[in-house]
Amino acid sequence: MQDLKRMLDESDWWPRLDAGQRARVLADTVVRDAAAGQVFSARGEAVEGWLGVVEGLVKVSIDAANGRSMTLAGVPAGGWFGEGSVLKDEPRRYDVVALRRSRIAVMPRQTFHWLIDTSPAFSRFLLVQLNERLGHFIAALEHQRLLGPEGRVARCLAQLFNPRLYPSTRSRLRISQSELGLLTGLSRQRVNQALHKLEALGLLRTSYGGVTVMSVERLVAFEG
């Protein structure tokens, strides 16, 4: 539970809650372990609550009927997601998969709705988050078929480094090249090649088990 507290401390909305609200969130939220590769919550399942990545790395993806899989978003430690399904009170529409051993917080739906009703700051945070996601998906649609592998890796990293969504991501993110492959739909070898091209352009630096981004803005703008 120590880790949950640390994650909450880095969430924008947490310090804006009053003591009673914080106490209830701490009492109601549970943290679950997910093994590497495990489907934490599958499409079609009932939604328990709002999800937060306390530790690890998670992807939100969907498997098409033809067997192909599409990643909609990667969520690093510090990120909260899944508000759409909680708000709409419907079964989960996408798979939530742990890319490595992870710890995921679940805030029960009742608590989530109660926060919306009692905390304007929390509601405002949700608006900002939903707006960021809208921008993310519009940009993804815009570029999906236009960008080559380098562009896809650049966008994927830019998304993971979005400071509004994931404030606790430092300039260096612990992510392996094969995990980036899972997020982008590219092979590990091709990701390796793309990272080196982006590094040569000065957009990032690669290091063992992670990537350091020099400029999120330039990654977003990258179209090569």
Residue 176 φ/ψ region, left for φ over 0, alpha for ψ in the -120 to 50 degree band, beta for the rest? beta
**In the set 206, 215, 218, 220, which binds DNA (CB under 7 A)?**
206
For residues 94 to 123, the per-residue mask of contacts with DNA, x marking binding by CB under 7 A and - elsewhere, is ------x-----------------------
Per-residue tokens: 73? 């978003």
**What is the smallest separation between the CB atom of 150 and DNA, expressed in angstroms?**
8
Q: Closer CB to DNA, residue 168 or residue 206?
A: 206
Q: Closer CB to DNA, residue 47 or residue 153?
A: 153
Q: How crowded is residue 109: how many other Cβ atoms within 10 Å of its Cβ?
A: 17
Q: Closer CB to DNA, residue 83 or residue 179?
A: 179
> Does residue 144 interact with DNA by CB under 7 A?
no
Stretch that binds DNA, among 106-114, 139-147, 163-171, 185-193 (CB under 7 A): 185-193
Nearest to 118 by CA among 28, 29, 52, 21: 21
Per-residue tokens: 33? 């372990």
Stretch that binds DNA, among 43-51, 80-88, 118-126, 170-178 (CB under 7 A): 170-178
Q: How far is CA 106 from the centre of its chain?
A: 15
Distance between CA atoms of residues 96 and 81, nearest Å: 10
Angle between helices 177-184 and 149-160 (to 10 degrees): 100
Stretch that binds DNA, among 8-16, 103-111, 138-146, 186-194 (CB under 7 A): 186-194
Torsion angle of C-alpha atoms 88, 89, 90, 95, degrees rounded to 10: 80
Amino acid, res. 161: F
The DSSP secondary-structure symbol of 203 reads: S
Q: Closer CB to DNA, residue 88 or residue 196?
A: 196
Please state whether beta strands 210-213 and 95-98 pair in parallel, antiparallel, or not at all (unpaired).
unpaired
Stretch that binds DNA, among 107-115, 124-132, 160-168, 189-197 (CB under 7 A): 189-197
> Does residue 203 interact with DNA by CB under 7 A?
no
Q: Closer CB to DNA, residue 110 or residue 187?
A: 187
> Does residue 44 interact with DNA by CB under 7 A?
no
Residue whose tokens read 């798979």: 95
> Does residue 38 interact with DNA by CB under 7 A?
no
Instruction: Write out the residues near DNA by the rule CB under 7 A.
Output: 100, 148-149, 176-178, 185-190, 192, 195-196, 206, 208-210
